[in-house]
Chain A
Amino acid sequence: MAAAPSSAGSNGPDRVLLVDDEKALREPLAAYLTKQGFAVREAESAAMARSMLRSEPADLVLLDIMMPGEDGLSLCRHLVEAKGTPVILLTARGEATDRIVGLEIGADDYVVKPFEPRELVARIRSVLRRSARAETAPALEQDYGFENWRLDPLKRRLTDPAGAIVAISSAEFRLLKAFLDHPRQVLDRDRLLDMVQGREAHLFDRSVDNAISRLRRKVEDDRSDPQLILTVRGGGYMLAADVTRLDPVPAEAAE
């Protein structure tokens, strides 16, 4: 059940550094993560985290944004630029701007307090898996373009040919991104599940077909006659569009 995920460099359990000034959260969370098979160290400030990382690096840093002294965003920027250590931000505020700022400075993911502990674990594993595959920032810098649609992978923002934002869930985002990374290729259910799973529990329960159906609701003009995401006989799906990489539109020019 709680088998230790395979890690990039070492053979031991993944080393997670948990940075939060609130002892009341830090301690139970560290205990929980340890139970889930991670090697967890705790730091109560950014300064302490820096010194602990100097003595021994971590595979992933869980970082609270609001801390006295140096805040989480500043430490995050340092970690991402200097060491390329993956970071998941913990934030108390759910405002969209906070998330975007976090992702823009290079955090790999964020969770909003209070979070589902199981979801946090799923996200940690997903980020570790990606960093093991070295799927890092460069791929995120450009937008995907297809059939005049545009997907901003950083902000997870999909815009239709008319420039209107089409809201998609993170599961749908990952599914769409999987298609965009493999345009005009037939992807079977197992392959899609492998590329998409790992962050949201419900995707394990839900069939890929259901996720496809939901994505179609948002991107197809007529769901009963899909033009973009085609069903391939023999059990797979294919994106029927060419994908280009585009420079991101400046935020203000979207209007």
Chain B
Amino acid sequence: MRSFRFWPRSLQGQMLLAIALALLVAQSIGAALVWRAQVERSESSIAHALAFRIIGGALRSEGMDMDRRDARRVLRALRRGDEGPHPMRLVRGEDSGRIDDERDADLEERLAEILAAQSVEIAELEVFRRPVKEDPVAARSVARRLERDIGDPGPPRTVIVAAARLEAGDGWLIARTFDPPRDRGLGGSLILQTILIYVLLVGAVALLLRRITGPMSALTRRVEQFARDPTLPPDGQVAPQGPLDTRRLINAHNRMESRIGALLDEKDVMLGAIGHDLKTPLAALRVRIESVEDDAEREALVRTISDITNTLDDILSLARVGRPSDPVETTELSALVIGVVEEYEDMGENVELGDTQRVVLPLRATWVRRAMRNLVSNAVRYAGGAYVCTAKRDNQAIVRVEDEGPGIPENEIAFMMEPFQRGDPSRNRGTGGAGIGLTLARAIAEQHGGTLTLSNRTDGKTGLIAEIALPLEPKEKPRGRG
């Protein structure tokens, strides 16, 4: 629909346009029918007038074999057809009198039919139109009429001439009638009528639509706000209004909103409980492990506990990512990234810090730190090391984590960010992780209005590049706490 610049996009606009178009089409068809009926009537009355004259002439001429009674009946029958406003005398001539006027095949046919029906046998028939001033007989008639000053809508401009050569006689019978002027007001009145109906209809429809679209747009605004932030207080809900259908929609939406809010609250409570119920025994286990004598065994157990804890944290975070409880704060990103790199340095991992640029933007530090850790952990796990840098580009802050691992086949890249996908299809715990890390990193990037993109290196080496881009200006105004 983009190609039509004036195509209205709202319900109201489309409805009004549709009504206008439908009305125009209906009125046009009506007008065409009226016009055709009028033309038909006028042609037929002209044909009858001409036939009346010719038959009259034929009856008077010699050799016409018809008794008086018949003749009177015929004339009476013909008189029923409208004779036309200005009868002109029948003329007899040696030829049809046509010079270069165009013949009217339609009228000829009609006239021939009428004459045939009255058993007047015609050898030749010519019907044509010509301007009054080029026809001496018609011009005289008009002049006479003007003298008599008949109250009339102006003199006719065209005369129709019918010339017939009878089978029985010699010479031509030439009848004339004026071409009655057509009703020119038809088009204008039609347009006026259309406009009038349109204005009335549009007024009624617009009133009705207002009652529908007003509440609808209030509801749309509310849904948009709610989609952005499902923690909105319920007192901002749209009051049911408008026609019954709209009211029911609003009521249904409000119920759904309350239900979603309740579910989210329930989820938070549940996650808190899960966190508590799992982390306390994990802590107990962690303490007991300290008494394991064998160093290697103890190390392995500690690593397992820490893997479980990390996965648990990822799952809990992913479940909460849409409803963060901590506020957005203006933060320097590179210090955050450097801090994460240093954590890995402390663990003896091969994580290298590249160029960093100071970038200040509003963010939730605990979340961004978690996303960074997940990307770096991934690189360390699958490639044995990572190279991290930050930059500012196109009004975005960029954090880039590169590795020199095997990379990911291009067709699996999108797939990798779905939960519980791992590069290694064996799902071997040896390569660690439940495969939720990238999903969470992406969710965190999106929580900040940014993106996470994965791509293979194109600089000749193999390896994966994970890039988080965060907007420097928040897309939505950060609301204080909560």
Residues of A within 8 A of B (CB): 20, 22, 24-25, 28-29, 32, 66, 90, 92-97, 113-118, 160, 162-169, 202, 206, 214, 217-218, 251-252, 254-255
Contacts and interface: CB of A to CB of B under 8 A. Distances in A.
Interface string B277-305: 00111111111101100000000000001
B462 interface: no
A95 B325 contact: yes
Contacts of A162: 360
B275 A93 contact: yes
Contact of B335 (A206, A218, A252): A218
Given A92-B280, A168-B335, A29 B287 contact: yes
A115 B325 contact: no
Given A167-B331, A168-B339, A254-B330, A115 B272 contact: no
A164 B366 CA distance: 15
Contact of B332 (A94, A95, A115, A166): A166
A96 B328 CA distance: 12
Contacts of A251: 327, 481
24 contacts: A22-B280, A22-B284, A25-B284, A28-B284, A32-B287, A92-B279, A92-B280, A93-B276, A94-B366, A96-B366, A97-B325, A97-B326, A114-B282, A114-B286, A160-B360, A164-B330, A164-B332, A164-B360, A165-B329, A166-B331, A168-B335, A218-B339, A251-B327, A255-B330
A164 B286 contact: no
Nearest to B309: A114
B283 A25 contact: yes
A97 to B, nearest CB: 6
Given A114-B309, A115-B286, A167-B336, A25 B280 contact: yes
A216 to B, nearest CB: 11
Nearest to A202: B346
Interface residue SS majority, chain B: helix
Contacts of A169: 339, 342-343
Count chain A CB atoms within 10 A of each CB in B279, B285, B366 and give the residue with the most: B279
Nearest to A218: B335
B282 A113 contact: yes
A98 to B, nearest CB: 9
A128 B39 CA distance: 113
A254 B280 CA distance: 36
Interface residues of B, number: 39
Nearest to A203: B346
B59 to A, nearest CB: 110
A203 to B, nearest CB: 10
B480 interface: yes
Interface in B211-243: none
Contacts of A164: 330-332, 360
Nearest to A120: B287
A165 to B, nearest CB: 4
B280 A32 contact: no
Given A114-B279, A214-B342, A218-B338, A25 B287 contact: yes
B369 interface: yes
B114 to A, nearest CB: 96
Contact of A116 (B286, B288, B478): B286
Nearest to A206: B346
A209 to B, nearest CB: 14
Contacts of A92: 275-276, 279-280
Contacts of B366: 94-96
A29 B284 contact: yes
Given A25-B284, A164-B332, 12 more contacts: A22-B280, A24-B281, A90-B283, A95-B325, A113-B280, A118-B290, A165-B332, A167-B331, A167-B332, A169-B342, A218-B335, A251-B481
Given A24-B281, A95-B366, A96-B366, A117 B290 contact: yes
A65 to B, nearest CB: 9
Given A25-B281, A165-B332, A254-B330, A117 B286 contact: yes
B167 interface: no
B104 interface: no
Nearest to B330: A164
